[in-house]
Amino acid sequence: MSRVVPVALRLGLIVLLIVVQVRATPAPGLTGVALAVTLLTVALALTLLALLLMSRPPHLLPRPPHFMSRPAPLLSRPPHETSRRATAVDTAQPHREAASRKAFRLSGRASQLVTLIALGLAVLLSIALNSITHSGVTIGVLLVCVSLAVSRLSLRQSFIVGLLAVVGLVVAAELSGSPANDLTLVLSVCLIFLITYAAKQRKATRAAEAREAVLAERARIAREIHDILAHSLSAQLVHLEGAKLLLRAERTAEALDRVTHARDLAKSGLDEARRAVSALREDPPALPVALRTLAKDFEHTAHQSCTLRISGPEQRLPPETELALLRTAQEALTNVRRHAPGSPAKVELDFDPTGCDLRVTNPASAEKGSPGGGYGLVGMRERAELLGGTLSAGERDGGFQVHLRVPA
């Protein structure tokens, strides 16, 4: 329907134009005003029909270069011939792609130029025909052409069509000696121009907002995947590394226990990843309960203590706020295991009427950890900014502290 309705409206406008002009001059003559009306009507109808034919549906538009320049697959050829032909294709492909892009741009420019000329001609013909017959249909054609110019051309090109319409109306008014009658038409042209341009800008703004929403959702899913995988995979690596050392020491029972824990972590991480990717909205446990579970997992995995202190009146926060606090604590404890092995951790959660503070602190470790450089801190800062909060991470009192402050 989105393709049929505009075509039907334009065809109806052409038919209405012809019918009205035929009624105005029921017996077209070969001289005088009747001949001028007939010729102008035919020319304007043909111009509108050409504009209608140029507005092709999307599936008939020329394809972009990355579709046009894709090489055909090489099937059922000997290996040496396939390799030789593939090398030739690879050598010639950049030149074909550049030529295709250039031809595509030239085709687009030529189409816009033809549309500009056709709209300008339709504007002049409608003004000339209106100055003779003073028909409402020709005024409608004029306004439709200005609206089409704004919606289908760039601002500079559409401004040329609008200026041509205004100048043509002023000149026609001066020649006819009745400038007051055409002043309304000039104002109507300007109004249609501004309304169509505003609608076009609003549509572009909505499209930009939709793209921003898609990018924001991608960033959110990327943070979820990173936080889940960084936590579960690092814990699995710790368990599997311990299992390898235990197997070398022929302590099979303890190694089997480590492998079992690694399997459980893999299942848990896979379940969380599926929930994040599918964006299921479930009722998660309360934040203090989730932090207690996280602290127990850290103690079991790192074999170090993890002190959890919760102060202030416990309350449920918005789901996105609780998720940001939990993921930040999860990422901070993962960094403790990776970058400060053998170091205990301390998690502090403070509730107050205006917001919530989360601090994850660990002392310096004598053991050497894995180097940093990941996206953990970047993801935590993005979460904090999206919630209107702040995040700081750095050395403090000989250790390292991650501090997240979010509004309630």
Average confidence (pLDDT) over 180-193? 81
Residue 314: per-residue pLDDT: 81
Residue 297 has pLDDT above 50, yes or no: yes
**CB contact burial 179-210 (16+ within 10 A = b; e otherwise):** eeebeebbebbeebbeebbeebeeeeeeeeee
pLDDT in tens, 360-389: 999 887 777 665 555 567 778 887 888 889
Average confidence (pLDDT) over 218-246? 75
Name the residue among 175, 181, 200, 179 with its Cα closest to residue 139: 181
Q: In the structure, what pLDDT confidence band is assigned to residue 283 with cuts at 50, 70 and 90? A: low
Compute the distance between CA of residue 368 and CA of residue 375 in angstroms, rounded to an integer.
20
Residue 102 has pLDDT above 70, yes or no: no
Q: What pTM was estimated for this model as a whole?
A: 0.47
Average confidence (pLDDT) over 26-37? 65
Residue 280: per-residue pLDDT: 44
Tokens of 125: 């013909």
Task: Work out the percent of the chain whose per-residue pLDDT is above 70.
Answer: 70
pLDDT in tens, 199-209: 889 988 888 88
Average confidence (pLDDT) over 272-291? 65
Task: Work out the percent of the chain whose per-residue pLDDT is above 90.
Answer: 7
Q: Which residue has the higher pLDDT, 54 or 111?
A: 111
Residue 349: per-residue pLDDT: 93
**Virtual torsion, Cα 255, 256, 262, 266, nearest 10 deg:** 150
Average confidence (pLDDT) over 194-223? 83
Q: In the structure, what pLDDT confidence band is assigned to residue 358 with cuts at 50, 70 and 90? A: very high
Compute the distance between CA of residue 265 and CA of residue 257 in angstroms, rounded to an integer.
12
CB 100 within 8 A of CB 65: yes
How many residues are given for the chain? Answer: 408
Average confidence (pLDDT) over 306-314? 89
pLDDT in tens, 82-101: 445 444 444 555 566 666 66
Q: Which residue has the higher pLDDT, 188 or 53?
A: 188
Mean pLDDT across the chain: 76
**Virtual torsion, Cα 243, 249, 253, 255, nearest 10 deg:** 0
- 31-35, 345-349, 390-394: range with lowest mean pLDDT: 31-35
- 22-36, 313-327, 378-392: range with lowest mean pLDDT: 22-36
Roughly what angle, to the nearest 10 degrees, separates helices 376-386 and 179-248? 140
Residue 248: per-residue pLDDT: 86
Average confidence (pLDDT) over 11-33? 66
Compute the distance between CA of residue 397 and CA of residue 183 in angstroms, rounded to an integer.
78
* DSSP-derived 3-state class of residue 233: helix
Average confidence (pLDDT) over 321-346? 86
Average confidence (pLDDT) over 189-193? 89
Name the residue among 147, 56, 158, 46 with its Cα closest to residue 107: 56
CB 297 within 8 A of CB 268: no
Q: What are the residues facing 401 on neighbouring strands?
A: 361, 394
Instruction: Determine the residue type at 25.
Output: T
Average confidence (pLDDT) over 105-132? 79
Residue 220 has pLDDT above 80, yes or no: no
Residue 402: per-residue pLDDT: 92
Tokens of 86: 């593939």
Residue 30: per-residue pLDDT: 57
Compute the distance between CA of residue 139 and CA of residue 192 in angstroms, rounded to an integer.
12
CB 259 within 8 A of CB 253: no
Residue 277: per-residue pLDDT: 58
Residue 221 has pLDDT above 80, yes or no: no
Compute the distance between CA of residue 39 and CA of residue 45 in angstroms, rounded to an integer.
10
Residue 347 has pLDDT above 90, yes or no: yes
Compute the distance between CA of residue 84 and CA of residue 150 in angstroms, rounded to an integer.
52
Average confidence (pLDDT) over 36-47? 79
Residue 68: per-residue pLDDT: 44
